[in-house]
């Protein structure tokens, strides 16, 4: 069952079409990655979903929400750069957020203590936020987004500003949270999407270029491929340049890489035999020859290029 349904959502800014009539649905209990290059419209979309921006047109519906009800009561939101009152302690901030969400004082205090421990900063709850590290602030932001037990957790680039250690800590926490609530997070790091998500939505130039389950999209778009690298001598480079211009039958596409080429093929075994034979005939020195299938990165680049 779809928890969130978006129908032809559009946003214009002074003549600029930032989001162009996108439609999608998010199933209850799913973890969804909103992917796209910078400027694709991800943050604008998220700000409309969270009620921070009024759409120019289109509709946003949450299953079970009554007409006229504020959708923000159903949503937990962590912006890309969360802002805090540095003079507050972490516990004070969470209690404040809980009271704003309509919790009683008793429930706000209990929920704050529970979430501080849940996100791993229980020992820092009585410290002022101004002394928190970036990773601790992201954890506090997650706790704030969860304070009212939202049905949908929305995160905008949740790990983009963190160092490698903080990033890994927050990614681990998100992996735990996705089993407890429905999650939508935006990112331009494809590895994060592959690690966490069930579904992906790929945006480009304000439009939805691709969407669906990660496994289904992979299967529908999977193509056999080869990665070839040669030694950097001029003879090898010259041969490779000429060979790429006259690709043999069975090679669908090719693109040059700094050390060789990336090849999309029809049949892996036939293509491998062809490449090995031609390399041997030309006496070209090979440093790497790998076979496999296209990845989410390949699909992302294809979807963005064709949108």
CB atoms within 10 A of CB 264: 17
- Residue 306 has what pLDDT? 64
- 177, 119 contact by CB (below 8 A): no
- Residue 305 has what pLDDT? 67
Check residue 104 and report its DSSP letter.
-
Check residue 122 and report its DSSP letter.
G
**CB proximity list for 276: less than 8 A, separation 6 or greater:** 289
> Any idea what the Cα angle at residue 19 is, between residues 16 and 25, rounded to 5°?
170
- Residue 256 has what pLDDT? 83
Domains assigned to the chain: 2-85+143-219 (3.40.50.300), 223-306 (3.30.70.920)
- Residue 12 has what pLDDT? 93
- 26, 2 contact by CB (below 8 A): yes
Long-range Cβ contacts of 263-267 (<8 Å, 24+ apart): 263/225, 263/226, 263/227, 263/228, 264/223, 264/224, 264/225, 264/294, 265/223, 265/224, 265/225, 265/226, 266/224, 267/224
Task: Note down pLDDT in tens along the chain; length 307 residues.
Answer: 789 999 999 999 988 899 999 999 999 989 999 998 888 899 999 999 998 999 999 999 888 877 777 777 889 999 988 899 999 999 999 999 999 999 999 999 999 999 999 888 999 999 999 999 888 898 899 999 999 999 999 999 888 767 788 788 878 888 888 888 999 999 877 888 888 889 999 998 899 988 888 888 877 777 888 888 988 778 888 888 888 888 888 888 888 888 888 888 888 888 889 988 988 888 888 888 888 887 777 777 777 766 5
- Pick from 128, 161, 184: which is nearest to 6 by CA? 184
- Pick from 164, 209, 187: which is nearest to 299 by CA? 209
pLDDT per residue over 121-132, tens digit each? 999 999 999 999
Of the chain, the end-to-end C-alpha distance in Å amounts to 29
Report how far residue 252's alpha carbon sits from residue 262's, in angstroms, rounded to the nearest whole number.
11
Tokens of 249: 């039958």
Check residue 72 and report its DSSP letter.
G
- 233, 220 contact by CB (below 8 A): no
- Residue 307 has what pLDDT? 58
Q: Torsion angle of alpha carbons 119, 122, 124, 127, nearest 10°? A: 110
**Helix, strand, or coil (residue 21):** strand
- Residue 70 has what pLDDT? 78
- Pick from 258, 259, 270, 255: which is nearest to 301 by CA? 255
- Residue 216 has what pLDDT? 86
**How far apart, in Å, are the Cα atoms of 44 and each of 72, 80, 129, 275?**
16, 12, 28, 46
Beta strands in the chain (DSSP E): 2-13, 16-27, 31-35, 57-62, 75-78, 152-156, 182-187, 199-204, 207-213, 224-230, 251-257, 260-265, 286-293
Report how far residue 170's alpha carbon sits from residue 201's, in angstroms, rounded to the nearest whole number.
21
């Amino acid at each position: 069952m779809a928890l969130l349904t978006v129908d032809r959502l559009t946003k214009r800014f002074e003549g600029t079409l930032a989001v162009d009539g996108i439609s999608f649905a998010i199933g209850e209990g799913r973890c969804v990655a909103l992917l796209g290059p910078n400027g694709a419209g991800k943050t604008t979309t998220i700000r409309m979903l969270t009620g921070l921006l009024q759409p120019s047109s289109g509709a946003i519906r949450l299953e079970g929400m009554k007409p006229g009800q504020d959708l923000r009561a159903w949503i937990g939101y962590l912006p890309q750069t969360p802002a805090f009152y540095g003079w507050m302690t972490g516990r004070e901030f969470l209690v404040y957020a809980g009271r704003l969400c309509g919790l009683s004082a008793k429930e706000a205090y209990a929920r704050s203590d529970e979430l501080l421990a849940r996100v791993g900063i229980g020992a820092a709850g009585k410290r002022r936020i101004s002394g928190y590290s970036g990773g601790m602030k992201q954890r506090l932001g997650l706790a704030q987004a969860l304070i009212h037990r939202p049905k949908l957790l929305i995160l905008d680039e949740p790990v983009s500003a963190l160092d490698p250690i903080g990033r890994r800590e927050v990614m681990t926490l998100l992996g735990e949270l996705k089993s407890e609530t429905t999650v939508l997070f935006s990112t331009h790091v494809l590895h994060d999407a592959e690690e966490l998500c069930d579904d992906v939505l790929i945006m480009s130039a304000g439009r939805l270029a691709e969407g669906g389950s990660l496994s289904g999209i992979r299967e529908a778009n999977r193509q056999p491929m080869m990665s070839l690298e040669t030694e950097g001598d001029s003879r090898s480079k010259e041969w490779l340049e000429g060979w790429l211009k006259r690709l043999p039958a069975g090679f669908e596409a090719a693109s040059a890489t700094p050390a060789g080429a990336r090849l999309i093929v029809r049949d892996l075994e036939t293509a491998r035999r062809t490449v090995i034979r031609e390399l041997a005939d030309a006496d070209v020195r090979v440093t790497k020859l790998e076979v496999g299938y296209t990845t989410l990165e390949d699909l992302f680049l294809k979807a963005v290029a064709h949108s």
